[in-house]
Amino acid sequence: MNQTTKFALSSALVLCALALLGLPLLGCSNQPPITPTATKTPTLPPTPTPSPAATATPVPTATHTPEPTATATLTPAPTDTATPEPTSSLVQMGPDVNPLTGLRVDDEARLNRRPLAVKVPNYPPSARPQSGLSLADVVFEHEAEAALTRFTAIFLGNDVETLGPVRSMRLVDSEIVPIMRSMLVASGGHPAVKIRMTEGKPWAEGYTRIICPEQPFLGDGGALYRIDAPDKLFELTLYTNTADLWNVTAERGVNQRVDYDDMWVFSEVVPEDGVQATRLRITYRPDVTEVEYLYDPETNAYQRFDVGEPLVDALTDEQIAPTNVIVLYVNHVDTDILADEHDRDRPWYSVSIQLWGQGPGKLLRDGQVYDLTWIRENPQQEDDRLIFVDDQAEQIPLRPGTTWIQLVRLNGVVEIGN
């Protein structure tokens, strides 16, 4: 049994014990801060054909093996046959393979730098088309507040000459940044959010890994700039590029290769036990934040739509189409930080997205959907991987390529089908 299996089994057994004790799941309310608890598995939206339920593999009982009695035996002459080399369908993660995509790079130096996590808006609609998103290795989409979403786009293997708009950070970035071992690039943030997500957090010590022009951070080092766009809202005019961001990272002495400890595995081979599914639809807020992915068999990728319109990269003028799409069901808890007062009848509070513990999810690749369990042991720790395992506690391979990860509420409106 490998370390991943042992870790996943022990996490699952602890979670099962908590569930048997009947611990309540935190809900969402506009109340003072609530102490986070481990996520709780909800009833998932059905896939076209149910997948088998996860079961724990029993730990073998230790038994005493008697010492063998020595007996004289004839040793047969060895047969001169070749021993077959072990084979695996998984991508072998050498130094020239991007650990976030499973793809080989022409220049290994591209991987000898720290990833960048850049905050990019997806609302209001005038924020679209964004520039550079198609060149991100990984993109997380999450609620900001008011059931509107924002991206945290992770860049490592590609250089991007025009990237933006760049917008403000959210509490969930204090989980995403340590998971990705990245820099955080943002225009600013709510004063209380900036304090809560960084104060006393090891990843934020000294603020060297935060590129942001606002206090109390160290500034942007000239990497962020405003474009001349009279037709755009002022907050949608801040842009950057990866060359300048990595220069600032190097000046601060933190631009080195990071070790993901084989956090994700990749394979060109389509895993077994998948169910055909060519369409994913997520409704964060009806008629405002509706996300859809449609599988294109010609490119083996998932074309992205927002409220029925293709999401296009302004840099390439091509539709966003990741190779893998992952849905993670995560506990969301409203905090006491009042973030949006535009609607007097319903003020909106900053939300804590508890991306630690474990929970259910879905992987879409190759026109198939797979049930998964996501596991991350502790909050805000870089030595904890975010891994995806099947019902045998084995890591589920992603297809080599880009991955978009959708963080949704435990009762999120998710439709998967054909």
What pLDDT shows up at residue 88?
Answer: 74
Reading the block at residue 402, the tokens are 């880009």
CB 270 within 8 A of CB 366: yes
For 356-367, what is the mean pLDDT? 98
| N-to-C CA span, the chain | 37
Question: What's the pLDDT tens digit per position in 195-215?
Answer: 999 999 999 999 999 999 999
What pLDDT shows up at residue 340?
Answer: 81
Reading the block at residue 179, the tokens are 């998971």
**Cis check: omega of the bond before 129, within 30 degrees of 0:** yes
Reading the block at residue 85, the tokens are 């080399």
In a domain, 288, yes or no: yes
What pLDDT shows up at residue 87?
Answer: 56
Give me the number of domains the chain comprises: 1
Write the CATH number for 215. Answer: 3.50.90.10
Residue 227 reports pLDDT greater than 70: yes
In a domain, 35, yes or no: no
CB 117 within 8 A of CB 185: yes
Measured CA to CA, the distance from residue 333 to residue 347 in angstroms comes to: 15
Closest Cα to residue 407, out of 193, 185, 147? 147
What pLDDT shows up at residue 52?
Answer: 36
Q: Sorting pLDDT into bands at 50, 70 and 90, what band is 341?
A: confident
In a domain, 327, yes or no: yes
CB 199 within 8 A of CB 171: no
Measured CA to CA, the distance from residue 140 to residue 161 in angstroms comes to: 21
Residue 346 reports pLDDT greater than 90: no
What pLDDT shows up at residue 54?
Answer: 36
Strand partners, 407: 328
Longest CA–CA span in the chain (Å) reads: 93
For 38-66, what is the mean pLDDT? 38
Cβ neighbours for 47, distance < 8 A, ≥ 6 positions apart: 275, 277, 362, 369, 371, 416
For 233-255, what is the mean pLDDT? 98
**Distance between alpha carbon 112 and the CA centroid of its chain, in Å?**
21
Instruction: Calculate the dihedral angle through the C-alpha atoms of 261, 267, 270, 272, rounding to the nearest 10 degrees.
Output: -40
Measured CA to CA, the distance from residue 19 to residue 82 in angstroms comes to: 52
Measured CA to CA, the distance from residue 282 to residue 290 in angstroms comes to: 6
Residue 31 reports pLDDT greater than 90: no
Q: Which of 18-22, 112-116, 239-243 has the lowest mean pLDDT?
A: 18-22
Residue 27 reports pLDDT greater than 80: no
What pLDDT shows up at residue 394?
Answer: 96
List the domain range (segments joined by +) for residue 183: 108-417
In a domain, 406, yes or no: yes
Reading the block at residue 110, the tokens are 């591209």
Question: What's the pLDDT tens digit per position in 165-183?
Answer: 999 999 999 999 999 999 9
Q: Sorting pLDDT into bands at 50, 70 and 90, what band is 7?
A: very low
Q: Higher confidence at residue 353 or residue 31?
A: 353
Measured CA to CA, the distance from residue 93 to residue 403 in angstroms comes to: 17
Helix (H) or strand (E) holding 12: helix 3-20
Measured CA to CA, the distance from residue 8 to residue 377 in angstroms comes to: 9
Residue 345 reports pLDDT greater than 90: no
Closest Cα to residue 267, out of 125, 413, 88, 94? 88
What pLDDT shows up at residue 286?
Answer: 96
Measured CA to CA, the distance from residue 25 to residue 43 in angstroms comes to: 13
Residue 256 reports pLDDT greater than 50: yes
